[in-house]
């Protein structure tokens, strides 16, 4: 059994989606920069699939946006009473935490009555910024030792998920988040793995969003 820290879950997302609102001042700046500067890889109307680095380069062409980005960095990307919360501040915090993030899907909403204000558990209004995880990488080599990886791989061969022939086997495969979590949980219950510590480090958001994951594994000839 290998020990992991709370950075593991932050390394999972590689592609997220979020909504920008046409009639919000700062959102409108971001939308304008995306339309003008970024290559859209999406064919869906009103949706933009772009690289994160391209997005950051584009929005920094706005001096006001760039100043907010610099303030966010100065304050460590955490809420600060000296900075009024807005989408730019939230996105800076998200990008700083999700270290393997590569792609963004941006949806544009033209509802004039939009609001990001929600009520927390005690009924107090707070500003939130929602995003969804669409894709990610789940690196089992950081979670399981050699013996546990072999046990896991043999189980997936039994499920016909991994190829039984060594030369046909790949060091990765694709799977929805809830499926891989269910498999790991079942193996723990069956006594094949002792990964309760790992499952505790998986944020509930990963289960709620249920993204498609690249499961990185490793193998030895069986």
Question: So where are the chain's domains?
Answer: 9-129, 136-216
Asked if residues 123 and 91 have their Cβ atoms less than 8 Å apart, the reply is no
What six digits make up the tokens of 38?
């970024």
**Spatial CB neighbours of 50, under 8 Å, sequence gap ≥ 6:** 34, 38, 39, 40, 41, 103, 104, 106
> According to the model, what pLDDT value does residue 77 have?
64
Asked if residues 98 and 91 have their Cβ atoms less than 8 Å apart, the reply is no
Give the whole-number percent of the chain exceeding pLDDT 90: 38
Q: What is the pLDDT of residues 100-145, one digit of tens each?
A: 999 999 999 998 888 787 777 787 777 788 999 999 999 988 888 8
pTM of the full predicted structure?
A: 0.86
């Amino acid at each position: 059994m290998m020990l992991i820290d709370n950075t593991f879950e932050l390394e999972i997302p590689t592609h997220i989606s979020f909504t920008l609102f046409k009639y919000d001042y700062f959102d409108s700046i971001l939308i304008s920069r995306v339309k003008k500067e970024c290559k859209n890889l999406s064919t869906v109307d009103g949706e933009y699939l772009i690289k994160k680095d391209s997005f950051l380069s584009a929005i920094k062409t706005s001096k006001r946006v760039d100043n907010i980005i610099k303030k966010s960095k100065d304050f460590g990307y955490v809420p600060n009473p000296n900075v009024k919360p807005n989408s730019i501040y939230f996105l800076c915090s998200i990008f700083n935490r999700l270290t393997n993030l590569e792609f963004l899907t941006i949806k544009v909403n033209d509802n004039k009555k939009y609001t990001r204000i929600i009520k927390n558990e005690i009924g107090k209004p707070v500003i939130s910024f929602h995003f969804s995880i669409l894709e990610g990488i789940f690196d089992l080599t950081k979670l399981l030792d050699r013996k546990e990886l072999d046990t896991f791989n043999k189980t997936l061969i039994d499920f016909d998920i991994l190829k039984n022939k060594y030369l046909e086997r790949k060091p990765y495969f694709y799977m929805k988040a809830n499926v891989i979590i269910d498999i790991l949980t079942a193996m723990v219950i069956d006594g094949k793995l002792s990964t309760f510590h790992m499952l505790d480090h998986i944020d509930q958001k990963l289960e709620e969003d249920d993204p498609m994951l690249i499961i990185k594994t490793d193998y030895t000839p069986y």
